Structure 1
Amino acid sequence: MSSPTRYARCASPPPSHHRATTTPTGRPTKARGRPAMNVSAHVDTFARDHLPPPDQWPELRFDLPELRYPERLNCAAELLHGPPDDRPVFHTPSGDTWTYGTLRARVDRLAHLLTRDLGVVPGNRVLLRGPTTPWLAACWLAVLKAGAVAVTVLAQQRPHELRTMCEIAEVRHALCDIRAVDDLAKAEIPGLRITAYGGDAPDDLFHRTAPDTPYRAVDTAADDVALIAFTSGTTGRPKGCMHFHRDVLAIADTFSKHVLAPHVDDVFAGSPPLGFTFGLGGLVIFPMRVGASALLLEQAGPKQLLPAIAEHRVSVLFTAPTAYRAMLAELDGYDISCLRRCVSAGENLPAATWQAWHERTGLRLINGIGATELLHIFISAADEQIRPGTTGVAVPGWQARVQDADGAPVADGEPGLLAVRGPVGCRYLADPRQREYVREGWNITGDTYVREPDGYFRYVARADDMIISAGYNIAGPEVEEALLRHPDVLEAAVVGRADAARGQIVVAYAVVREGVVRDAEALRAFVKSELAPYKCPREIVFLDALPRTATGKLQRFRLRTDGDQQ
């Protein structure tokens, strides 16, 4: 195995800004739409070795000229290169501002530390954990520039969740904000080397000495894996979604360029953390692609967003419908005239919420649907093309249709499964559920939609058991498993219930041992110790027995129906 320092020294210089639009990426093979794989720069080949087999890939489309990336491409170098050193890139609530020059220097220093001190080689998976700060963004860029694979997780996630993700991705390195180290250490992940940052210890990442010289980006292939983003499936076991260096740029060169249309002077902000690809795109990739800046908020709930928008003159906002609804009641207290773009995703945007926001602010919410499997938004509309009550149309560079369970397109006006394809596609990390998500070259998102005769797509419902609450995807079976780890719980079933404020809430039905006190708050506290707090049931209902069929199959529909009638 080559040493990391030697490998980095052999790499090509960073590409010029936006030069990645000249030649196609790879040649099609007999497998539908799968390009011939370029020579990898990875020394650790785990990620490429665990890509789905060729016949399970979706068809990839590179229809726009800007999507025809060169065969060698490092997306971190591409995002970092271009803007003048003195242009702002990241702002903090305390008033600190990082410039592009500062960010470039700090990313290079971190990349030197990764490869020289920590022994990270191209292809290694590096876990990133912490609140949304410029330092977390810098670590993400450094990992990619060094040719490694970023695995960014939520600071809220608990040891059990962290251990599972690290096992799936065989993670051996972690960079963690000192404030989020405890749960990661408690996970007791074999072979994981945790390096903290932001603390006072001598071995803290920021206190280590490193060269002040530029770090030459590893000459990664455009189709080398750059990041693994985890999402929960309806079975509750997380799925690792592998995305390439070219994919990182493709979401900026489709949705951001053609729908969002950002300006160089825009200031981005939003509620989704960088562990969600919605936040990674909206707060790092999109602003950096055009040389703009972002306000990175550690606390970004509705109560924090409005004063932050007013104080820092935010012009582009990313959050969920739940937050827009919550902010309506507080708008009079803040000057948000600086806003010009408001993006809503993560859950369905009701027409009533769109209308209320428009009436109060004059701003047209840009609705959109994205997926971790596809990295970001692929159906949307902006400005006069917006039609309240619909999600929009296929984003330039993407194709979408509605089909039946057998894969045949259904007539306009008829409900069916949403199927999409474009420059990014689902590639699960060694997961048999790849066959469920990709069918006949199309990515099947798990949503039921209707296509209107004029091409607009209208959301109907989720086609699976995923619960979407305040923009978070929550797998009922995962919450059930957590409840069942409590020694007093014999049976558990978790469903989503419609809720005006959050879209849905998590409701748990539990059967406990005879003679045990039915203490809902104690059970909620137990679940919070096992899972991220947003997955905790808002309500726990105790039953003597769960409804089942004669063959013993759980009848979830009865629980949903009973709950909706309450």
Structure 2
Amino acid sequence: MAHTAHIDTFVRDHLPPAEQWPELIFNRPELQFPEYLNAVDQLLDRAVDEGDGERQAIIGKDVSWSYAELQRQVNRIANVLVQDLQLQTGNRVLLRGMNSPMLAACWLAVLKAGGVAVGTMPLLRAKELKDIAQAARITHAICDESLAPELQLAAESCETLTQVIHYGGTGELEKLAADKTDEFAAVNTAAEDPALIAFTSGTTGIPKGTVHFHRDIMAMCEVFPRHCLKPTRDDVFIGTPPLAFTFGLGGLLCFPLWARASTVLLEKLAPEPLLKAIEEHGATICFTSPTAYRHMTPLVPEYNISSLQKCVSAGEALPTDTRDKWREATGIEIHDGIGGTEMIHIYLGSSPEDYRAGALGRMLPGYIGMIVDEQMQPLPTGEVGKLAVKGPTGCRYLADERQTDYVVNGWNLPGDAFYMDDDGYFYYQARVDDMIVTSGYNVASPEVESALLAHPAVAECGVVGVPDPHRGQVIKAYVVLNVDYVGDDEMTAELQNFVKNTVAPYKYPRQIKYIDALPRTETGKLQRFKLKQI
């Protein structure tokens, strides 16, 4: 990493030492990148330069920008950052807002100006924002005015955060931008200059900052969309994941721009408003969580979503029952995949034509994977162990000792338990931490959850292992019932028997607790560690 365009080298200086990096593989033609690379130049400026300026790029509430209009907006904001807020290359810029064209333009402007974008979930409170700001030594912040109070509280204890500007409301940023030229040459960043710090969404309660380079952004565009999703210029993307979540950043901003398609960015969408928006905008590709697909399924007949052609699920395991019911309701087989903040996006998945029942999929082109034991020794096919993966992207935590837990011998260890068949298909079992050992049997939480979800009374559920003096652990299910069902002893017995008749009897939940809602991250992931605290 000798070359850099960064004056402020804080992020580069706080990367793990080189020996703790994962081995990176660039063994395909589309993964050959130049030494200097600015992702926004590749995703946006090239689109305009090559004649796509008038194509529709981003649609929001009462807003629709072509590629050329988006470029002009990005350039004006970049000029505000440099001229009014004295942004230096390498400075960290915290972004706080709901999904919208303006938030997307701000993210693109930060990277174009050579800054490092730090997206944050809209629901984060002052303490969480303070922790992120201090860990990343945030210098600047761009915030939706409606979300300003929590950031203001956080900023009081963050000495490095000296420049805060708001958009929306009184339109502080918009007014400054209106007076700026709409020309701005992208900073000639090195391909390995940090572009973003993505903080994990907190399924373990302790978020970590993962650094990704300009090259990583382009690499994620050259893998899942190119080889699995295969979008066209005429596609209209839509979905629910926040842009602060790399699943959303790729699926709702970078992938559409890479394909010269368009994207619909609306504030947080519940299942029914999402269906309505798909109908209204003629969306063709949807990115959302398994939970959202499950909730949308019974509502499908109420909306005309005939434009929808492809659906992508990630973030947590997709239950077979959810996949089947969505296909029955829409005729669409879901693109399933697993990725992670540390890897930036999906590295293992399946397209409908490559789907094998029960399997999550195969390694996408550019990535390789294996199943290993605790000593990092490869396991034979059919045996459950830890997934190890390497490819063109990988984990680099910002000043975090947990780097050596995630990267071992050059392999990324995402913390997932899988087994692999002879054809290279991977079968997800659970997060390694969510494997339950009861009376000597290994039980995967998602398998029990999938069995419970097939019962008509169950709206949602989460399964964990709890200590037991006789069995080591017993399986406990936390269940959210559908309306008109009562969580009594009779229901408990019915659900237990249902599971016994669906999977091996030793996998049934010996304890069931009925709750009103499951604890989830803002990205929709189930927080099993919080279930254990209920």
**What is the DSSP-based 3-state SS (H/G/I as helix, E as strand, rest coil) of the residue aligned with 1:356?**
helix
**What is the DSSP-based 3-state SS (H/G/I as helix, E as strand, rest coil) of the residue aligned with 2:192?**
coil
User: Residue 92 in 1 paired to residue 60 in 2?
Assistant: yes
Amino acid at match of 2:317: N
CA contact (8 A) 1:391 1:458 kept: yes
Q: What is the CA deviation profile of residues 136-195 of structure 1, one whole-angstrom value per residue up to 9, with x for unaligned ones?
A: 000000000000000000111010100001110000110001111111112223232221
CA contact (8 A) 1:156 1:533 kept: no
Shift of residue 77, structure 1, vs aligned partner: 1.2
Shift of residue 496, structure 1, vs aligned partner: 8.9
Amino acid at match of 1:441: G
Amino acid at match of 2:112: K
From 14, 22, 25, the equivalent of 1:58 is 22
**What is the DSSP-based 3-state SS (H/G/I as helix, E as strand, rest coil) of the residue aligned with 1:243?**
strand
CA contact (8 A) 1:241 1:426 kept: yes
From 390, 396, 400, the equivalent of 2:359 is 390
Q: What is the CA deviation profile of residues 90-114 of structure 1, one whole-angstrom value per residue up to 9, with x for unaligned ones?
A: 11244x3111011000100000110
**What is the DSSP-based 3-state SS (H/G/I as helix, E as strand, rest coil) of the residue aligned with 2:433?**
coil
Shift of residue 333, structure 1, vs aligned partner: 0.7
User: Residue 252 in 1 paired to residue 221 in 2?
Assistant: yes
CA contact (8 A) 1:321 1:345 kept: yes
User: Residue 217 in 1 paired to residue 186 in 2?
Assistant: yes
Pick which of 222-231 and 79-88 moved more: 79-88
Amino acid at match of 1:88: Q
Shift of residue 218, structure 1, vs aligned partner: 0.6
User: Residue 49 in 1 paired to residue 13 in 2?
Assistant: yes
Q: What is the CA deviation profile of residues 353-386 of structure 1, one whole-angstrom value per residue up to 9, with x for unaligned ones?
A: 1111112211110110010000000001113211
**What is the DSSP-based 3-state SS (H/G/I as helix, E as strand, rest coil) of the residue aligned with 1:121?**
coil
CA contact (8 A) 1:355 1:388 kept: no
CA contact (8 A) 2:419 2:427 kept: yes
State how 1:305-384 maps to structure 2 within 5 Å: 305-384=274-353
CA contact (8 A) 1:69 1:246 kept: yes
C-alpha separation in 2, matches of 1:329 and 1:165:
39
Shift of residue 210, structure 1, vs aligned partner: 3.8
Shift of residue 352, structure 1, vs aligned partner: 1.5
C-alpha separation in 1, matches of 2:529 and 2:208:
27
C-alpha separation in 2, matches of 1:500 and 1:355:
21
State how 1:473-552 maps to structure 2 within 5 Å: 497=477, 499=479
Q: What is the CA deviation profile of residues 232-252 of structure 1, one whole-angstrom value per residue up to 9, with x for unaligned ones?
A: 567633210000001001011
CA contact (8 A) 2:204 2:527 kept: no
Note closer, same or farther for the CA distance 1:228–1:57 as it changes in structure 2 (3 Å cut).
Answer: same
C-alpha separation in 2, matches of 1:353 and 1:440:
37
Match of 2:265 in 1: 296
From 166, 170, 181, the equivalent of 1:196 is 166
**What is the DSSP-based 3-state SS (H/G/I as helix, E as strand, rest coil) of the residue aligned with 1:417?**
strand
C-alpha separation in 1, matches of 2:296 and 2:77:
38
Match of 2:39 in 1: 75
**What is the DSSP-based 3-state SS (H/G/I as helix, E as strand, rest coil) of the residue aligned with 1:69?**
coil
Shift of residue 211, structure 1, vs aligned partner: 2.8
TM-score between both structures, scaled by the size of structure 2: 0.81
User: Residue 152 in 1 paired to residue 124 in 2?
Assistant: no
C-alpha separation in 2, matches of 1:497 and 1:112:
53
Amino acid at match of 1:437: Y
Q: What is the CA deviation profile of residues 259-285 of structure 1, one whole-angstrom value per residue up to 9, with x for unaligned ones?
A: 000000100001101010000000000
C-alpha separation in 2, matches of 1:301 and 1:122:
38
C-alpha separation in 2, matches of 1:536 and 1:455:
28
**What is the DSSP-based 3-state SS (H/G/I as helix, E as strand, rest coil) of the residue aligned with 2:165?**
strand
Match of 1:102 in 2: 69
User: Residue 123 in 1 paired to residue 90 in 2?
Assistant: yes
Match of 2:381 in 1: 412
CA contact (8 A) 1:307 1:334 kept: yes
**What is the DSSP-based 3-state SS (H/G/I as helix, E as strand, rest coil) of the residue aligned with 1:264?**
coil
> Could you list the runs of 5+ residues in structure 2 that have no partner in the other structure?
436-444, 454-461, 465-474, 483-516
Shift of residue 499, structure 1, vs aligned partner: 4.6
CA contact (8 A) 2:133 2:158 kept: no
Q: What is the CA deviation profile of residues 183-223 of structure 1, one whole-angstrom value per residue up to 9, with x for unaligned ones?
A: 1112223232221111226xx11111543241011110000
User: Residue 169 in 1 paired to residue 154 in 2?
Assistant: no
C-alpha separation in 1, matches of 2:322 and 2:3:
49
CA contact (8 A) 2:201 2:523 kept: no
TM-score between both structures, scaled by the size of structure 1: 0.76
Amino acid at match of 1:89: A
> Could you list the runs of 5+ residues in structure 1 that have no partner in the other structure?
1-36, 477-494, 503-523, 542-555
Amino acid at match of 2:389: V
Q: What percentage of residue pairs aligned between the two structures are identical? A: 47
C-alpha separation in 2, matches of 1:162 and 1:407:
36
Match of 1:273 in 2: 242
Note closer, same or farther for the CA distance 1:255–1:143 as it changes in structure 2 (3 Å cut).
Answer: same
**What is the DSSP-based 3-state SS (H/G/I as helix, E as strand, rest coil) of the residue aligned with 1:450?**
strand
Q: What is the CA deviation profile of residues 46-71 of structure 1, one whole-angstrom value per residue up to 9, with x for unaligned ones?
A: 01101100110001010111111000
Match of 1:482 in 2: none
Amino acid at match of 2:15: L
C-alpha separation in 2, matches of 1:537 and 1:400:
26
C-alpha separation in 2, matches of 1:47 and 1:533:
25
**What is the DSSP-based 3-state SS (H/G/I as helix, E as strand, rest coil) of the residue aligned with 2:325?**
helix
Note closer, same or farther for the CA distance 1:377–1:164 as it changes in structure 2 (3 Å cut).
Answer: same
**What is the DSSP-based 3-state SS (H/G/I as helix, E as strand, rest coil) of the residue aligned with 2:260?**
coil
Note closer, same or farther for the CA distance 1:232–1:301 as it changes in structure 2 (3 Å cut).
Answer: closer
CA contact (8 A) 1:234 1:465 kept: no
Note closer, same or farther for the CA distance 1:426–1:498 as it changes in structure 2 (3 Å cut).
Answer: farther
C-alpha separation in 2, matches of 1:336 and 1:460:
33
CA contact (8 A) 2:203 2:527 kept: no
CA contact (8 A) 2:144 2:168 kept: yes
C-alpha separation in 1, matches of 2:526 and 2:324:
31
Superposed CA RMSD in Å reads 2.8
Match of 2:499 in 1: none
Pick which of 372-381 and 461-470 moved more: 461-470
C-alpha separation in 2, matches of 1:465 and 1:230:
21
